[in-house]
């Protein structure tokens, strides 16, 4: 019998890596880096886009079909101290080496506890996530020019309360003491994972298969086996009372670029990126095939109830080797982790000697 090879403690590392939690938001939003605006990244991208014309499907749409991978070590936000948006080759080599070293799970220099966490090692990870983007950028964010998520706004007392509840649940999880399945994060519950837009690289399974048929583009994210079916016929969005975990997407082509826009997200806290407010959260994604084996994936998100202004990131997608395939990612069917997490917590309640000495490290 096959099963997910994850113990609860090890899973904490994975969860922390892929859960867009308010906890992460608090960290990232609090430390805007002092860096000079450098719009070079966008200019470089635009130049490449013009150089190549994608082939068309028989019905005339730009052809995006294939299996693509978005893994990279380039961080979403520019690290503090990195002034440049784009590095020269020498700087880029250094940056890449540093990131690869930081991200590697095959290191043995962290002491016992970190070592145990890293037992979920490189064997399970996507090796492509240890390489920086080919265009040598220091952040995936291209706007604002400082490469950082804009400062957050004061959130309503109601949402503060929700966020506090979620943070408390996250703290219980980190301490190995979750109360109930429904307080675990959506990825751990196998409800949504990397299929929730925006698509950002994670530790593994960074694949997306694009299918096209007349009138549709369909994106199949590896996690979790959902099909994002995008009508191109200009039909209106679903009615305002019909909400979905993954929202409702409509698209059209602007030249060679697929532009899609998604609304109708469910109101559950945590459904949309970094705990933004689902009702006011807006996301536009653009897919431009810039080479036979490359798509530029760019997204802009905005939410006046979360960030002071919209922000945009560009993540390069690379076509995977045809010898590789995207296989079914099942999750809920063998979700041993929830049982282990909860039964572990109940065992700790009975025997405090089993308690973790300190919360699980995220990496």
Partner 1 sequence: MRTRVWRVITPLGFAVIVAVVWLLPVAGQQARPTPQASAFPAYKAPRLDGHPDLNGIWQAFVTANIDLEDHEAQSGPYPEMLGAYGGWPAGQSIVEGGTIPYKPEALAKKKQNVANRMKVDVSNDKTWHDLGDPEMKCYMPGIPRATYMPFPFQIVQGTSPYILMAYEFATATRTIRMDWKQEAPTDTWMGWSRGHWEGDTLVVDVTGQREETWFDRAGNYHSDMLHVVERFTPASAYHLMYEATIEDPKVYTRPWKISFPLYRRTEKNLQLLEYKCVPWTEEMLYGKFKKGTK
Q: Where do contacts with partner 1 occur on this chain (CB under 8 A)?
A: 1-3, 57-58, 63, 65-66, 179-182, 189-191, 209, 211-214, 216, 218, 220, 224-227, 229, 231, 235-236, 238, 242, 244-246, 325-328, 330, 332-334, 336, 338-339, 342-343, 345-346, 349
Minimum CB–partner distance for residue 71 and partner 1 (Å): 21
Nearer to partner 1, 203 or 338 (CB): 338
Residues 6 or more apart in contact with residue 59 via CB below 8 angstroms: 214
Q: How far apart are CA 23 and CA 333, in angstroms?
A: 28
Is the four-CA dihedral 73, 257, 227, 65 of positive or negative sign? negative
225: nearest Cα among 209, 241, 203, 214: 209
Minimum CB–partner distance for residue 210 and partner 1 (Å): 9
Minimum CB–partner distance for residue 63 and partner 1 (Å): 8
Minimum CB–partner distance for residue 346 and partner 1 (Å): 6
Nearer to partner 1, 2 or 123 (CB): 2
Q: How far apart are CA 350 and CA 363, in angstroms?
A: 29
Inter-residue contact 45 to 314 (CB < 8 Å)? yes
Tokens (6 digits) for 11: 């899973």
Residue with tokens 């997306």: 208
What is the C-alpha end-to-end distance of the chain, expressed in Å?
A: 29
275 alpha carbon, distance to own chain's centre: 13
200 alpha carbon, distance to own chain's centre: 3
Instruction: Count other Cβ atoms within 10 Å, centred on residue 157.
Output: 8
Tokens (6 digits) for 242: 């019909």
Residue with tokens 């997200």: 265
Q: Is 80 helix (H, G, I), strand (E, B) or coil?
A: coil
Nearer to partner 1, 58 or 81 (CB): 58
Minimum CB–partner distance for residue 284 and partner 1 (Å): 20
Instruction: Give the H or E element holding residue 9.
Output: helix 8-18
Nearer to partner 1, 164 or 347 (CB): 347
DSSP H helical ranges for 71-174: 89-103, 111-117, 157-174
Nearer to partner 1, 85 or 230 (CB): 230
Inter-residue contact 306 to 152 (CB < 8 Å)? yes
Minimum CB–partner distance for residue 219 and partner 1 (Å): 10
Nearer to partner 1, 293 or 334 (CB): 334
Minimum CB–partner distance for residue 324 and partner 1 (Å): 11
Inter-residue contact 295 to 288 (CB < 8 Å)? yes
Nearer to partner 1, 309 or 332 (CB): 332
Nearer to partner 1, 109 or 328 (CB): 328
Residue with tokens 């905005």: 302
Nearer to partner 1, 106 or 328 (CB): 328
Minimum CB–partner distance for residue 44 and partner 1 (Å): 30
Minimum CB–partner distance for residue 348 and partner 1 (Å): 11
Q: Is 156 helix (H, G, I), strand (E, B) or coil?
A: coil
């Amino acid at each position: 019998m096959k099963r997910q090879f994850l113990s609860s403690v090890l899973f904490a590392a994975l969860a922390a890596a892929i859960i867009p939690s308010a906890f992460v938001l608090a960290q990232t939003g609090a430390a805007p880096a002092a860096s000079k605006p450098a719009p070079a990244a966008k200019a470089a991208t635009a130049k490449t886009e013009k150089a190549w014309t994608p082939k068309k499907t028989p019905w005339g749409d730009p052809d995006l079909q294939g299996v693509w991978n978005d893994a990279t070590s380039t961080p979403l936000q520019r690290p503090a101290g990195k002034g440049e948006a784009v590095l020269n080759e020498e700087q880029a080599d250094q940056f890449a080496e540093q990131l690869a070293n930081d991200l590697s799970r095959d290191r043995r220099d962290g002491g016992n506890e970190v070592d145990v966490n890293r037992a979920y090692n490189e064997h399970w990870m996507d090796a492509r996530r240890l390489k920086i983007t080919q265009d040598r950028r220091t952040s995936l964010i291209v706007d604002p020019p400082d490469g950082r998520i804009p400062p957050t706004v004061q959130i309503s007392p109601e949402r503060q309360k929700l966020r506090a509840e979620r943070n408390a649940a996250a703290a219980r999880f980190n301490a190995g003491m979750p109360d109930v399945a429904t307080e675990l994060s959506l990825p751990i519950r196998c409800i949504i994972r990397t299929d929730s837009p925006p698509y950002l690289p994670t530790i593994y399974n960074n694949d997306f298969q694009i299918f096209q048929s007349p009138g549709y583009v369909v994106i199949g994210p590896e996690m979790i086996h959902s099909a994002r079916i995008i009508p191109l016929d200009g039909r209106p969005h679903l009615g305002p009372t019909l909400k979905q975990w993954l929202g409702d997407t409509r698209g059209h082509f602007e030249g060679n670029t697929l532009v899609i826009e998604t609304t109708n997200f469910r109101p559950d806290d945590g459904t949309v990126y970094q705990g933004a407010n689902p009702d006011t959260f807006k996301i536009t994604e653009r897919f431009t095939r810039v080479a036979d084996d490359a798509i530029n994936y760019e997204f802009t998100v905005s939410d006046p109830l979360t960030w002071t202004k919209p922000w945009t990131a560009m993540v390069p997608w690379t076509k995977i080797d045809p010898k590789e395939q995207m296989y079914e990612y099942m999750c809920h069917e063998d979700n041993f982790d929830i049982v282990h997490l909860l039964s572990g917590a109940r065992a700790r309640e009975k025997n405090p000697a089993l308690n973790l000495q300190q919360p699980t490290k995220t990496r």
